[in-house]
Amino acid sequence: MITVVGTGTGAPPAPETLAGAELVVGGRRHLDAVRLPEGAERVVLGPLAPALDTIGEYVGKDRPVTVLASGDPGFFGIVRVLAERFGAERLDVRPGVSSVAAAFARIGLTWDDAVVVSAHGRALRTAVNVCRAHPKVAVLTGPGAGPAELGAALRHAFGTSPDTPPGAVQDMPPGAVQDTSPDTPPGTAQGMPPGAVQGTTPPGTVHGTPPGGSVGGSGARVLVVASALGSARERVERVTPAEAADRDWGPDVSVVLCLDEARTRTPGAARTVAGGRAEPAGWALGEDAFAHRDSMITKFEVRALALARLGPRLGDLVWDVGAGSGSVAVECARLGAAVVAVEKAADGVARIAANARAHGVYVDVVCDMAPDALAGLPDPDAVFVGGGGTELPAIVGACAARARRTVVVAMAALDRVPAARAALTGAGFSCDGVLLQSSRLAPLPGDVTRLAATNPVFLLWGTRTGTRTPLSDEGVAL
């Protein structure tokens, strides 16, 4: 039998959980915190394979093993690999309080509406994209994927209140440390009254920025960095992403919470299903669901197929280039993806912001012309290109050079298709397309109906083949 004991964010494991163990496996800090049974072998976890081999030797001889782990070992923990290797029937799991639950408890927030993502041993970009797209996220950190790296990736992603100095939190000095002693009310930080929040902007807000500048389409985030939870060295600090990026946080970080405090400081409605925002009840919304100019909007029939080919999902980053009204950007955000919209017209930028606000999603907007505007953006998983100017081949080529999975191009002018297709195939994409033309029911006098034809649109899509594979959703807990 393998007894798996969660520890590290509360009381030490009960002595009986170790009694009789002939092998005790765990991290050095976990092993140093307990008294091992006399004669028990001790294995410090480093590379996992040798430890599993040693456990296998003991299990094969029916000798008792105890594994010490952090928090709840069944939540992004060692239970998964132990069950895969030895079978769930051999495990006796004694969970502790997870670092995620402890961190939210320290600041007095519920977390049934949080998205939890692990960056431990995984690419950080998934966590970054989830943080860009959702107001309440817990990130389990690891080497090379801690608060500094997360802050560096997020520092330019969100708009900030023009009344809030860079690096400052309203009513709280930068870098304030929360006192988590029993006498301190939850959510209170040194120098900050309970309930004080960082100056933030609502989803979709765009601040006055000259063409060529990046404007934040999201509420600014605060990072809550929880270190050494459950120990005498425990610290819970609220910092901006820029402040986090400029710190050396050391090895004690347990978890980082990324919060849009303007949306999370008070509990929402009671939930039935845990996790982030619910999947939308529908997509390919009608044009009347968006503010747009002179019917300059991707029609819902075209948007439906574009969304199917883009495949936006939690953990993805999608570019909407030549975004216009931002209807594609908003729909991708409703499906859980992080989104950057690139639009050259100032009135279009304002429209995108208004549409994002209306649908309660985050869309970061860059007011500039493609392809030059794309150079400073993080690599996307999928790209939608709208419009059809003379720069279209260069724009499609620039997008194809960066996209990890797919590029979808919508064109009204068929003479643009060969160059766009060549740009995709030249970048190593397999390419396909379709001419979409639909007729909608329209009323006529006398209570009769006719078919009203919409303008034909050519939709072209390229899918990357070769070494760059689609992003996995492993590491995200809904």
d(CA 108, CA 164): 24
β-pairing verdict for 457-464 and 429-436: antiparallel
Q: How far is CA 42 from the centre of its chain?
A: 38
Q: Choose between 467 and 168: higher pLDDT.
A: 467
Quick one: tokens of 343?
A: 């639009």
Average of per-residue pLDDT across 439-447: 92
Measure the CA angle with vertex 212, ends 324 and 378; round to 5°. Answer: 80
Q: How far is CA 336 from the centre of its chain?
A: 8
pLDDT band at 265 (very low <50, low <70, confident <90, very high): confident
| Helices within 403-455 (DSSP H only) | 417-426
pLDDT for the residue 390: 86
pLDDT for the residue 466: 65
Q: Which residue in the block uniquely carries the two structure tokens 């006399």?
A: 38
Average of per-residue pLDDT across 145-165: 70
pLDDT for the residue 175: 41
C-alpha distances in Å from residue 250, one per residue of 106, 156, 245, 310: 20, 24, 13, 39
Grouping H, G, I as helix, E, B as strand and the rest as coil, residue 114 is: coil
pLDDT for the residue 470: 43
Query: CB neighbours (10 Å) of residue 168?
Result: 16
Residue 230 reports pLDDT greater than 50: yes
Residue type for position 154? L
Tell me the percentage of the chain whose pLDDT exceeds 70: 84
C-alpha distances in Å from residue 60, one per residue of 41, 52, 64, 71, 113: 16, 12, 10, 27, 43
pLDDT for the residue 159: 42
330 contacts 145 by C-beta, under 8 angstroms? no
pLDDT for the residue 267: 77
What values do phi and psi take at 99, rounded to 5? -60, -30
pLDDT for the residue 56: 94
Average of per-residue pLDDT across 133-161: 85
Average of per-residue pLDDT across 366-392: 91
pLDDT band at 277 (very low <50, low <70, confident <90, very high): confident
Grouping H, G, I as helix, E, B as strand and the rest as coil, residue 453 is: strand
d(CA 362, CA 353): 9
Largest CA-CA distance found in the chain, in angstroms, rounded: 94
Residue 472 reports pLDDT greater than 80: no
Residue 287 reports pLDDT greater than 70: yes
Query: CB neighbours (10 Å) of residue 12?
Result: 16
Average of per-residue pLDDT across 191-214: 35
